[in-house]
A = this chain, B = another copy of it.
């Protein structure tokens, strides 16, 4: 509402992350060019936006926010630089939109649990869904990694707020399971980090994984095997009956 540019620059979400000046949101909802909702024109627009987002995710994942240039994104999307900026408004905005998209995917994975759930089922679902997420969106995973590696300037609020609360809630359940003798009394936070890191690894360190295994890519079967391996080792490792 306050300082936003007079041109709309739709994309899908506002740059609600890491706002510096004001608290209110300035929704910036998607605006259709004319009265009609889904014409030929809007279809083309959405196709271009999609291409830009895809290209930008790859570039930012590889080179980070500072290292990724709008020119490189434009080339990867097959558009002139001016067009990219016309669609997204600014480099910063594009980056924020991509981060938001990834955190939305992440949040969609985080369903709640209760003490009465089965530890084996919950942990296995946790591991497998996290593996599936990095499998489905490796570029997004790397984008997230690059952001955190750079000190998480855009995500600090999210990490210290929403995500922290979620982890703490899970941690309490894990502790209660331990009290009931359903699993070992391991530190639940370290356990969650272990699962995150072990799964994240196959996206972030893909060149290392491929180089060492001598593969060109990880197959679906490989991902299945890795998921099985992780479930088996981690569940057994924290004393969950299977």
Contacts and interface: CB of A to CB of B under 8 A. Distances in A.
Interface string A53-68: 0000000011111111
Interface stretch (A11-19, A44-52, A198-206): A198-206
Contacts of A146: 64, 146, 149
Interface in A197-225: 197-198, 200-202, 204-205, 207-209, 211-214, 225
Interface stretch (A33-41, A97-105, A108-116, A188-196): A188-196
A152 interface: yes
A148 B186 CA distance: 31
Contact of A236 (B202, B214, B236): B236
Copies of this chain present: 2
B186 A149 contact: no
Interface of A: 61-68, 142, 145-146, 148-152, 155-156, 159-160, 163-164, 167, 186-187, 189-191, 193-194, 196-198, 200-202, 204-205, 207-209, 211-214, 225-226, 229-230, 232-234, 236-239
19 contacts: A64-B66, A66-B68, A67-B67, A146-B149, A149-B205, A152-B208, A159-B207, A160-B214, A163-B211, A167-B212, A186-B229, A186-B232, A187-B229, A189-B212, A190-B226, A190-B229, A194-B233, A196-B205, A237-B238
